[in-house]
A = this chain, B = another copy of it.
Amino acid sequence: MSTDPTTARYSVEGLTALSESLLHEAGIEKAHARAMTARMIDGDLLGHRTHGLAFLPTYLDRIEGGHIGSGGELETLHDDGATAAWRANRLPGAWVMGEATDLLLDRITDRAVATVTVADCSHIGCLQSYLLPFTERGLLVTLTATNPGVASVAAPGGTRGVITSNPIAMGIPTRADPILIDQCTSVGSNALFEGYAVRGERLPGKWLVGADGIPTDDPTVLRADPPGTIQSLGQTDFGYKGFGFGLMSEALSIALPGYGRRSRPDRFGQGVFLQVLDPGRFAGSDTFLDEIDHLVGSVRDDPGAAGATIRLPGERALAARRQQIRDGVVIGAEVLARLTPRANRSSTPLPTPL
C-alpha cells in the first residue's frame, strides 16, 4: 500500500462502487450511472487524468444544477437503417454513446458504413475510450464531438471565440494494438490552460491569443474580460489549417445533429458524430490490415532522432491501461479530496489505497 497521495493506486472495483453509488444517490438511473462510471474510469486507465474521475465532482454538480438528465428518452429524428440521427435531451453522454455503439455494431453487420449523430446529450468525456469496441472487431471508427456552449477558439486573425477545441478521434484496427487517435483541433484543450492558470504558471510557448489579438504565453487571458482565445493547431503560421479541422468537427457534430451555437445553449451539452466503416466491405479486411501493419512497421523501424521516443497514437494510453488494470488506478489526491465530503454522506465509503 502506497501512502504517497500522488502515486496511491485504487482498485477499479472500489472506484466503480463509489462512483456508481454517488451518481445514483444524486438521482441518476443505475444503467446511466454504470455507463458514466465505466467511461470515467476508462479515461483514468488510459492515463487521461483530466478526462477521468476528475469529472465526477463536476458531473455531480451538474446533476444538482439540472444540466444532466436521467430517465428521459432518446428521440429519433431520422433512421434509415444505415444512419440514425438522435436528440438526447441532455441524457448522460456516456450512456447515450453506449446506446449508439450498440446500434452501430448491430447495423454494421450487413453494410459497409453506419453512422449516428447525437444532438444535445450531456458531456461524453474521453473520446478515446469509445473507440476500442469497434477496433476490437476490426472496424474503423471516426468520432467527433463538440460543446456548442463553449467558444474559446477564434478564426485565424480573429479575437473572438467562435468554436472550441473540437476534438476529432479515430480508431484504426491493426493485427496488434489499435491506433487510437484522439486530439483537439486547437493546440490544447480548455482544461489544459485552466490547469496552467490554477498553478500560476506561464505556458511553454505563445499558445494563446489575448483579446487584443496578440499571441501570449499568459494562461490567465482566457479568464480575462474580454477573454482571449486558444490558438488553432498550427499556431500563428498555420493555424488556418487547425481552424479548418475545427470547422469540420463543427459541421459534423453541431450542424448535422442540429444542436448548436445558434440556440445559445449552456456550457454542459454536446453534439456527436460517430461513424463506423467495415474494411471487409471495401477492399477486404486482410488488405486493410496488411496496409496498416506495413505502416506501423515503418514507424517502428525508424531509429528516431537522438533522445526521441517514437510512439503511435494510443500506444502510451494502452500501456497505461494494461498496467493500471494490473496494479490499480492512480487517482490524484485532489480528486479524492473533492469526493470525500460526498463519500462521507454516502452509503459507499472512499476506497482505500492498494
Contact = CB atoms under 8 A, between A and B. Distances in A.
Interface of A: 77-78, 80, 82-83, 85, 87, 111-113, 115, 117, 119, 140, 142, 151, 154-160, 162-163, 168, 170, 172, 179, 181, 183-184, 187, 204-205, 207, 209, 212-214, 233-235, 237-238, 240-245, 247-248, 250-252, 254-262, 275, 277, 279, 281-284, 287-288, 290-292, 294-295, 298-299, 301-306, 308-313
Contacts of A281: 78, 80, 83, 85
28 contacts: A83-B281, A113-B275, A140-B256, A155-B299, A155-B311, A155-B312, A156-B308, A156-B310, A157-B308, A159-B303, A160-B298, A160-B301, A160-B302, A162-B302, A170-B247, A172-B251, A181-B247, A183-B241, A187-B237, A212-B306, A233-B233, A233-B242, A255-B292, A255-B295, A256-B283, A258-B284, A259-B283, A262-B291
A317 to B, nearest CB: 13
Tally of this chain's copies = 2
A157 B305 contact: yes
Contact of A310 (B82, B155, B250): B155
A252 to B, nearest CB: 8
A233 B82 CA distance: 34
A280 to B, nearest CB: 9
A255 B205 CA distance: 36
Nearest to A278: B83
Contacts of A305: 157-159, 209, 212-214
A81 to B, nearest CB: 9
A163 B295 contact: yes
Contact of A213 (B163, B258, B292, B304): B304
A187 B238 contact: yes
A154 B302 contact: yes
Given A187-B234, A237-B205, A283 B160 contact: no
A181 B156 CA distance: 14
A256 to B, nearest CB: 5
A334 B137 CA distance: 53
Nearest to A207: B237
